[in-house]
Amino acid sequence: MKTRLRLLLALLAAAVLLPVHAAADPDLWLEDGASAATRDWIAARNAETERRLVQDPRHEAQRQGFLAQGAASQHDEYLNGGLVHRLVSDAAHPLGSWQVRAASAAARAIVGAGWRSVLDLDELARREGVRWKFPLWWMNPMCDTTIGARCIVQLSADGGDRTVLREIDLRSGAFVDGGFRIDTPARHYAHWIDADHLLLASDFGPGTLSNAGYARQARVWTRGTPSTEARLVFDAPEDAVLYIPHNFRHAGGTLFVAEVWHRAAGAPSWWLLDPQRGATRWQPPVDLVRYRGLAGIVGERLIVMTAQPLRHGDKTWPTGSLLALPLPGRSGTIEPVFIPGDHDAVDPVFHLAVAEDALWLGVMHDVSGRLYRAVRGAGGWTLQRQPLPEHAAVRLLTGEAAPSAALVKTESLLRPPETTLRGPAGNETLGSDHSGFDTRPYVSEQYFATSRDGTRVPYYLVRPRAARADGRGAALISAYGGFGVSMLPTFLNTEFHTDFVRPMLEAGALQVHANIRGGGEYGPGWHRAAQRRERQRGVEDLIAVAEDLARRGWADRRRLAFVGASNGGLLAAAAAVQRPDLWRAVLADVPLTDMLRFHELLTGSVWIDEYGDPREPGDRAALAALSPLHTVRDGVLYPAMLVTTSSSDDRVHPGHARRFAEALRQRGNPVLFHESSDSGHGGAASRESVAALRALQTVFLLQTLGLDPAR
């Protein structure tokens, strides 16, 4: 009760102070990236940071180390449309080359055996004078080798989410003359209907975008006609902030589904799209989780993940269960595929893939990966467990279009990835990455901290085998804790910040990987526990991990650092402001910091269901208490901070980072700020940009924590 009372008093105090903060906002000019004043401010801050960090003799060695690490240990791979896609880069090709490999008989007839290079982005840059970035993800490129040899690719000029769209031929590697093409950057989605028609979501002019900048309409685009003349088949409701198209191939044809997120909090709405007859509202018989609540079709059954417990006969299936439903319009029973236990969860983003003959699913058991192949027979669904090492991370990098096999990547914090193609023809190992550094002197262990409300919070610790819990070590903690996304214990991975493991260990520090609430490590319930007005629980979980680390003697309380990006950047800023005594150094990359206006900036209105609605009094009070920009106080010495962002970030507005850094500067705190121009939100427009950012951040840590990798 005391904890709840303290929180209530904090919320009431924040609500009382709210009009003062709202009226102040003297730094809103920093949101205008086009103004001369803002550009001058950015240039001055960048110069300060570069003088201190880039000119450090260790910076170039770190940059080269990250370049080599990226080339040695990571390939961006994805399976979609019957093809394995990857982006391969090296010193001579920093932007990379898009390569494909057949994963089905139809694809093999087009591209042959082995890897085939389709598009050299560095050569394209020389030819067109634009350093195009190729964001490899679940709908880019969009190929369907059962239809033909052509793909739709999306290219970004600045690393942002807005892309141009082109049609390319897999055999020749050339863009198709007179083919499908949009040269105006937008957030496009495109699915093949047949060889001459696309189901396209894009910017079709005034009234066709949500207030978050996402497409609200789906249209059928016919080859040889302008995209502006594409025929409307779906127009999302007025309150839609995001429309996600899904494309599921099955024996009876293709099922096109629209998942619509609405401005108000709550479940998405679902629509069935028929390219000829238009859209009809569909109400699934169970509540589905967002984004990947629909996994695909196996044996003419639609695989779904539940967002709420479901009563079925004398049993209750918990949240996060995988069920098989009859296809829309057909009759049949609901069949259980996987029912999670108390320590189990399936992450819908990383852990579901449909092959021709089976559903592949990863399961986290206390965040340690397991892998299953699920097949449907006369007696129901059978789970066949596949062998994996201890504490493995499993990712099924497989899209929805034209399922043929499953692309499975298995790894751990100290074990390089192995990628296998698994399908009807058996398993084929496509490659095993090499670490670039010797992991044998180190060990990974899992511990559990106890959060403020008594919740057990798991975390991984990576340390030298010879390290002793003597209370003198330095440690870098990373966490995310949002949107139901799980922090997997992957190997040297930029997405999960495990690429810091190598430089931290080499410098004598420890690396900690925290699985706090707000993520998906224990299913949708773990996510909801730190959603909206309960967001503070994620911060409390992080603080509990940091304190547990010190209590066990693994780290000195005066040598703790934290790194987080995007929602993790919000976590970093909030933790630094709330517990300045706990941290020596904090890295906040592309962070949210103004939680009272996030919904007004770029794609922020999409996140109201996650954070709460600043226009609603109860939510606003909770957001004010959390908002780092509004809780920075005079007379407090905050930890050394490095705040990084990108001018081309069109997801989280760079004004969040600028204004937070300025708020700290105005109060005399030791904050460094750096803004790049071409890294987008992910900071990964190219391996060069990743290496540059990580080198900057690593030198900051080395300096602030008193570390030397050449010790």
Q: Could you report the per-residue pLDDT of 245-268, keeping only the tens digit for each?
A: 999 988 888 999 999 999 876 789
Q: Is the pTM of this model over 0.85?
A: yes
pLDDT class for 434, splitting at 50, 70, 90? low
Closest to 583 in 3D by CA, of 549, 551, 546: 546
Q: Contact at 8 Å (CB) between 241 and 211? A: yes
Once rounded to an integer, what is the mean pLDDT over residues 659-668?
97
Is the pLDDT reported for residue 558 higher than 50? yes
Residue type present at position 670? P
Structure confidence by residue, pLDDT tens digits, 486-527: 999 999 998 899 999 999 999 999 999 999 999 999 999 999
Question: Per-residue confidence at 677, pLDDT binned at 50, 70, 90?
Answer: confident
What is the 8-class DSSP label of residue 659?
Answer: H
Residue 679 has a pLDDT of 67
Beta-strand relationship, 163-169 and 150-155: antiparallel
Between 73 and 296, residue with greater pLDDT: 296
| More confident: 680 or 569 | 569
- pLDDT tops 50 at residue 403: yes
- Supply the pLDDT for residue 681: 64
Name residues whose C-beta falls within 8 Å of residue 57's C-beta, 6 or more positions apart in sequence. none
Q: How far is CA 511 from the centre of its chain?
A: 21
pLDDT tens for 61-116 read 999 998 888 766 556 789 999 999 998 887 788 888 999 999 999 999 999 999 99
| pLDDT of amino acid 94 | 82
SS (H, E, C) 219-262: EEEECCCCHHHCEEEEECCCCEEEEEEEEEEECCEEEEEEEEEE
CB atoms within 10 A of CB 665: 16
Cα–Cα distances in Å, from 101 out to 117, 118, 170, 192, 394?
Answer: 9, 10, 11, 20, 21
Question: Does the pLDDT at position 476 exceed 70?
Answer: yes
Task: Decide if 372 contacts 360 (C-beta within 8 A).
Answer: yes
pLDDT at 186: 94
Confidence at residue 75, expressed as pLDDT on a 0 to 100 scale: 60
Question: Alpha-carbon distance 21 to 627, whole Å?
Answer: 11
Separation CA 369–CA 371 (nearest Å): 7
Share of the chain above pLDDT 70, in %: 94
Instruction: Over range 303-312, report the average pLDDT.
Output: 92
Secondary structure of 383-410 in HEC code, one letter for each residue: EEEECCCCCCEEEECECCCCCCCEEEEE
Asked whether the predicted pLDDT for residue 324 surpasses 90, the reply is yes
pLDDT of residue 433: 67
pLDDT tens sequence across 613-624: 999 999 999 999
pLDDT in the model for residue 576: 98
153 strand-pairing partners = 166
Residue 695 has which token pair? 């080198």
Q: What is the mean pLDDT of residues 220-233?
A: 96
The whole-angstrom separation of Cα 212 and Cα 161 is: 12
Q: Of the ranges 349-358, 395-404, 595-604, 673-682, which one carries the lowest mean pLDDT score?
A: 673-682
pLDDT at position 17, please? 36
Confidence of residue 546 (pLDDT cuts 50, 70, 90): very high
Q: Kindly report the average pLDDT of the chain as a whole number.
A: 91
- pLDDT on residue 58: 95
Buried b (16+ CB within 10 A) or exposed e, 198-210: bbbbbbbeeebbb
Q: What is the pLDDT of residues 129-179, one digit of tens each?
A: 999 988 888 789 999 999 999 999 999 998 888 999 999 999 999 999 999
End-to-end distance of the chain based on CA atoms, in angstroms?
50
Strand spans (E) along 327-392: 335-338, 344-345, 352-354, 359-365, 368-377, 380-386
Integer CA distances (angstroms), 348 to 126, 204, 362, 402, in order: 39, 31, 9, 19
Q: Where are the beta strands (DSSP E) in 56-108?
A: 76-80, 83-90, 93-102
Residues 6+ apart with CB under 8 A from 88: 75, 96, 97, 99
In percent, how much of the chain has pLDDT > 90?
Answer: 79
Q: Which pLDDT belongs to residue 431?
A: 80
Residue 436 scores a pLDDT above 80: no
